[in-house]
Structure 1
Amino acid sequence: MSSSTIEPTWSRTDRARAAAKLMLGWVALLWVLEAVDHATGHALDQYGVVARDPDTLPGVVTGSFLHFGFDHVASNSVPLLVLGFIAALSGIRRFLAVCGIIIVAEGLGTWLISPPNTMTLGASGGRRPDSAGSLGARRHRASRRSRCGGCSAKPPRWPARSDRASRR
């Protein structure tokens, strides 16, 4: 007998459960971090991104998990749960890898183009895993597996108004 390991195949239910647990844990982490930030007089806010300040480059990663208050976390929680869950269905490892790339790329972009001396916290915009970045990666992967070899169907080209009027 060989001692090779075989990767278990996950059912759709197992995949959905893992994605749900991951996203619930992720959102819970954001709420715990904001509670700690609030309890410490917003001491964690210093770990955000300040535009073009080299001392805040670690905030490229940490700033994605911090927010400016409970209302900020609340406004990000539902989209993160729903869209993050959908993105995580493609696989946990793949999802986390894409999230890491998105967090770093968008964090660096924020660091580079934000107005001078501004602090950025949170993952609003493209910095969160439910953003266009991760969903775009999922869509790209799905289109590569499609029957037509990754091509995408174009929407029908509707005739211009003048063309429609002349057909009557």
Structure 2
Amino acid sequence: MPEMPVILRSRYHGWLLRNPEIYKAFLGTKISDTLNTDLKWVDPANVVTDFDTLLHMLDVIVHEPPEFYQAKRADGTIIGEPVAGPAYLVFNMLSNTSAAYDLFRMKEFNEALNHLLNCWGKYLHSPGSNSTLNTGGDGWFNPKVMEILTSGLGPLSFE
């Protein structure tokens, strides 16, 4: 039997993005949407200043399907990565803080978060969540995106 190729995954089995530029750009966009402001750059570690901001960010995220997020570097280079677990990126910002430690131990918060994620799961099973399944610029089936997604598959293919 032929040996299966080793497929490299991003950090934490794909839950975190490999490229910090994408991470910052994605969160900057979501924070801008949350705060209704145009942020050119953000330091993700300092943006969730209170519980309301956290809830608003999660609200923005659960009204959208996961996307292949593309950002533009200062030199104009387009970079992109799949953002399959956007809520996890928000929670990662809170990691290793005493406030998050207290928050994630609260039964009420975990029950509410469970409900929120279950509702998002139902949305992802609906036709409305298919908006990113296209060949457009940020679509999952864009030829450039397909090239990026299949780059580490070796002899395997996306199909």
* Normalised TM-score (structure 2): 0.24
> Which structure would you say has the larger Rg?
1
Higher helix proportion (structure 1 or 2): 1
* Normalised TM-score (structure 1): 0.23
